[in-house]
């Protein structure tokens, strides 16, 4: 039996590690549904992350803490159905890996069974036991250090991390511990560029940066931020490549105007009536309700239209 899918060969973790070792930058973005996944995959990104940022980007929460496993599974399944070529990763949401290794393995396994090729989780040395348990269960793990959004309350909001000497050293040591525990890559978020470059230099596994300067092995940005979809002022570390919010708004406003002014739909968006049906309608005469009800074979109440 062949284990090779012939539809399309998807990116694997060893592919990414080889690419990074050859000095090629890795490209990662988020996807939350089939459409965003198809767009990002068509653009040729290496990694698609179903991030728990779905909470603030798509679901209207202020931070990622309310995101549950069920929410993650719902969005991951939609992304997986797009059968992307890119490596597909899923975030482990808050509390899905904090209350014991067995529960973490079960939760991560659920994400893998839905199509994720690996999971991402936040935190440093204290996550080592859980990372070991996941790796032991054949679940590839990407670590996430620096500005870890699930530490929102401890950090006092989304704030740049690793600026003090002790914190910078701690972050470097944490990165080494994650690598030792078996992480195949480490995401560095919201830290000074020089610190991220130093961590990247010390690690053998690739780093993916967001708000962490140009010295990482790759970069990630949230899909909606790159495309200007949120309509919000973007954070400093984002470069916006399209004002999609304004463009989509204007297109929808144009359609609304066409509807209101009778320009939509036109003949090209309508279905023509065949001649035979037109003749039948032309010959139709309204019948008195009494006659209709007593005629044999006709239902006593009109059938519900489909």
**Residues classed as catalytic:** 189
Q: Which of 16, 31, 51, 72 binds ligand KIV (CB under 6 A)?
A: 51
Minimal distance in Å, beta carbon 260 to ligand KIV? 38
Which residues ranging from 170 to 209 are in contact with ligand KIV (CB under 6 A)? Answer: 187, 189
Residue with Cβ nearer ligand KIV (49 or 133): 49
Residue of 26, 28, 29 lying closest to 16 (CA atoms): 26
Whole-angstrom distance, CA of residue 151 vs CA of residue 160: 12
Q: Which of 11, 49, 88, 178 binds ligand KIV (CB under 6 A)?
A: 49
Per DSSP, the three-state class of 111 is helix
- Residue 30 interacts with ligand KIV (CB under 6 A): yes or no: yes
* CB neighbour list of residue 164: distance below 8 Å, 6 or more residues apart: none
For residues 255 and 264, the answer to whether their CB atoms sit within 8 Å is yes
- Residue 220 interacts with ligand KIV (CB under 6 A): yes or no: yes
51-59, 110-118, 150-158, 177-185 -> range binding ligand KIV (CB under 6 A): 51-59
CA 299 to chain centre: 51
| Phi then psi dihedrals of residue 280, to 5 deg | -60, -40
Minimal distance in Å, beta carbon 274 to ligand KIV? 52
Helix or strand holding residue 167 (H, E)? helix 165-181
- Residue 91 interacts with ligand KIV (CB under 6 A): yes or no: yes
**Residues interacting with ligand KIV, by CB under 6 A?**
30, 49, 51-53, 91, 187, 189, 210, 220, 222
């Amino acid at each position: 039996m062949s284990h090779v899918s012939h539809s399309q060969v998807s990116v694997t973790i060893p592919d990414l590690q080889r690419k990074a070792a050859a000095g090629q930058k890795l490209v990662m973005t988020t996807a939350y549904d089939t459409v965003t996944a198809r767009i990002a995959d068509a653009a040729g990104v290496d990694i698609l992350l179903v991030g728990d940022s779905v909470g603030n980007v798509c679901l209207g929460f202020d931070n990622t803490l309310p995101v549950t496993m069920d929410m993650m599974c719902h969005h991951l399944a939609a992304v997986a159905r797009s059968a992307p070529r890119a490596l597909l990763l899923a975030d482990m949401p808050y509390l899905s890996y904090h209350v014991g290794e067995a529960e973490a393995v079960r939760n991560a396994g659920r994400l893998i069974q839905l199509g994720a090729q690996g999971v991402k989780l936040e935190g440093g040395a204290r996550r080592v036991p859980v990372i070991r348990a996941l790796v032991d269960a054949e679940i590839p793990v990407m670590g996430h250090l620096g500005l870890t959004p699930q530490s929102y309350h401890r950090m006092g909001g989304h704030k740049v991390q690793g600026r003090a000497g002790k914190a910078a050293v701690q972050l470097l040591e944490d990165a080494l511990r994650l690598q030792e525990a078996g992480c195949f890559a480490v995401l560095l978020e919201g830290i000074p560029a020089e610190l991220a470059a130093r961590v990247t230099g010390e690690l053998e596994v690739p780093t993916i940066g967001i708000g962490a300067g140009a010295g990482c092995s790759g970069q990630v940005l949230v899909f909606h931020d790159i495309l200007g979809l949120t309509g919000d002022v973007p954070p400093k570390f984002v470069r916006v490549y399209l004002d999609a919010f304004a463009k989509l708004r204007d297109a929808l406003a144009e359609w609304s105007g066409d509807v209101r002014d009778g320009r939509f739909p036109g003949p090209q968006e309508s279905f023509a009536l065949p001649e035979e049906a037109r003749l039948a309608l032309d010959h139709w005469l309204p019948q008195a309700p009494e006659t209709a009800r007593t005629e044999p074979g006709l239902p006593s109440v009109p059938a519900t239209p489909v």
